[in-house]
Amino acid sequence: MPAILLYPLSFLLVLGVMIVVHEWGHYAAAKLLGVRVEVFSVGFGPRLLGFRRGDTDYRISAIPLGGYVKMSGENPMDEATGDPGEFMSHPRWHRFLIAIAGPFMNIALAVGLLTTLYTVHHERLAVADEPALIGWVSDDSAAAKVGLRAGDLISSISGIANPDWRQVMERVALGPNQAIPLAIKRGSETLNLSIVPEPIGSNRVGNAGFEPDEPVEVTSLSKTMPAAKAGLLKGDVIVSADGVQLHAVAALLQHLQDVKGQPVKLAVLRGSQEKEFTVQPVLDRRDGEKTPSYRMGIGSLRTKVSTLPLAEAWRESLQDNRRSSLLLLELLQKLIRGKVSIKQISGPIGIGQAAGDAVQEGLEDKSWFSLLELMAAISLNLGIFNLLPIPIMDGGVILLLFLEGLMRRDISLAVKERIYQTAFVFLVLFASVVIFNDVTKLPWFG
């Protein structure tokens, strides 16, 4: 399928599922509690098509960037008639349940998707749960500037004792231009340092300039590149290059740049056999890179794949979603404080790109694991974002209900009107900035 169709259709598929699930939560809670639902819309703006059943118009609208459920008497600016089917006629705890049902359904979908996925395919980086032993440090990086070396063990980061590599990667990614305390074990000594990751890439995530200590295993090969032509195979482990021992694939890439395209002698372990190959690197520029680099055409992304029993998959899904929720809240908190760039947040264009890539991968590999993971992540983020205490959003409705409960009276319509107007302007500006940043991240921009 042409990319010009694949990416928009993938975006509509993924976002459409999220919207329907979210709005169905509001709809089901409203119907259960006796609130009349007038409109169930996927999309905003003019009605394109749909049907009416009972009191409800089920429709698809022109702007596919969200959706809504319109309940009778929901707008606080409308005059209440006292009709028991109106939203404002119901007690606050009813309105609270209706407001929270949408985000709840998104979070439940995220948990359900990962639980289902993990029963058939539970994939992790091979080093994710391993101790944070450094295998390579880039020259002139943040790690090099504070004196970190290959063989150092990170025994503490940001107060987390004995972290695994996943925890280290999360702390670094969320800490660009921020001092992060580290404790390093080097032989018998313990060093207390502070590292300031540098923002990299279009998303401006933190990068410390070190890599895990792990075998350089060939996990993928480009048939047209030198490594495959020289005879390397998937599963080979590259032990050394020109006699230099390798403890990270980044060390091999650095060596290729250092020798500037000269032939490289590789010592390779294939099963229990030791083999030697001579490979001639070539200049190659990947998508999104401004300048080409010397490469030989291998990938070395080591993962562990397993299947989990249903109960264990459920526990793992809950744990992963909890971790992702806390990271998202930390990101938002740092964003408000100006500690991280808003470019770390993706909008509709970024979501469309990710969805298109996941669908493309599924079509090529006949595997939909990446798409399910992406949908779970988007659903969780949508649920959390809607719970933020911003008026117009579900979290704003919940906040106002909470305040009215404390005050034991309704907030005046004039005050609510000003609150909603201000919140609307804020959301429009925020969405505009996020979409603009999405555009600037496109490979062809600039």
Residues contacting 206, CB < 8 A, separation 6+: 172, 173, 174, 175, 176, 177, 178, 197, 198, 199, 200
| Three-class secondary structure of residue 404 per DSSP | helix
| Three-class secondary structure of residue 433 per DSSP | helix
130 counts as catalytic = no
Distance CA 331, CA 160 (A): 18
Residue pair 234/218 in contact by the 8 Å Cβ criterion:
yes
Residue 299's DSSP bridge partners are 220
* Among 318, 325, 322, residue whose Cα is nearest residue 385: 325
Distance CA 241, CA 268 (A): 9
Q: How far is CA 396 from CA 278, 379, 399, in A?
A: 63, 19, 5
**Active-site residue (options: 23, 74, 198, 211):** 23
| Three-class secondary structure of residue 260 per DSSP | coil
Residue 131's DSSP bridge partners are 164
Query: Which active-site residues does the annotation give?
Result: 23
